[in-house]
Amino acid sequence: MKHPEQDLVHRPTVKYLINQYPHVFFHHSPNGGWRKKVEAAIFVGLGVKKGFPDLLLYEPRENYCGLVIEFKAPGRIKLLTDNQKTCLAMLSKKGWYVSVVDSFEDSKQLIDEYLQKRNGFADRKVQ
C-alpha cells in the first residue's frame, strides 16, 4: 500500500516538471492503493503490473530511452518491494534510466541532471 508521505515527494516533483519542463511528456500510472477484488481483476486484465514505477519521463538522453522514478516517503528509500525491484531491473535492462528518490530535492536534482545531461547523473542509476 502506498505510504501517504510519499505524496510529499511526488506532488512537488510533478509540479516542478510542469513548470520547469513543460515540453516533457511524462506519466504516472495509478497502480498503488487498495482495490476491491473485482476492480483489481479488471486492472490486471488491462495490463496493470505490480511494482510498476511511479513516474516515467519519455525523454531519450544519451544511451537511455527515458527516465523512471520510483518515489518513496522520506527515510524509506530502501524499502522497495520485490515486485518493484524486479520491475525497475527489467526497465533498466530495456534501456531506461532508473532511480529511487525520497525527497523533492533529490528528485529535482535527478530530473535536472538527466534532462540537461550534466556529468554525474549516471552515477545515480539504481541497478
Q: How confident is the model at residue 62 (pLDDT cuts 50, 70, 90)?
A: confident
Domain ranges of the chain: 4-124
- Rounded distance between C-alpha atoms, residue 64 and residue 99, angstroms: 13
> Cell numbers of 127, please?
541497478
- Rounded distance between C-alpha atoms, residue 117 and residue 60, angstroms: 11
User: What is the C-alpha R_g of the chain?
Assistant: 14
Query: Three-state secondary structure along the chain?
Result: CCCHHHHHHHHHHHHHHHHHCCCCCEEECCCCCCCCHHHHHHHHHCCCCCCCCCEEECCCECCECEEEEEECCCCCCCCCCHHHHHHHHHHHHCCEEEEEECCHHHHHHHHHHHHCCCCCHHHHCCC
- What global pTM score does this model have? 0.85
| Model pLDDT, residue 55 | 96
Name the CATH architecture for the domain at 4-124: 3-Layer(aba) Sandwich (3.40)
Q: How confident is the model at residue 64 (pLDDT cuts 50, 70, 90)?
A: very high
Q: How confident is the model at residue 93 (pLDDT cuts 50, 70, 90)?
A: very high
Mean pLDDT for 53-64 is 93
User: Could you tell me which residue, 106 or 123, shows the higher pLDDT?
Assistant: 106
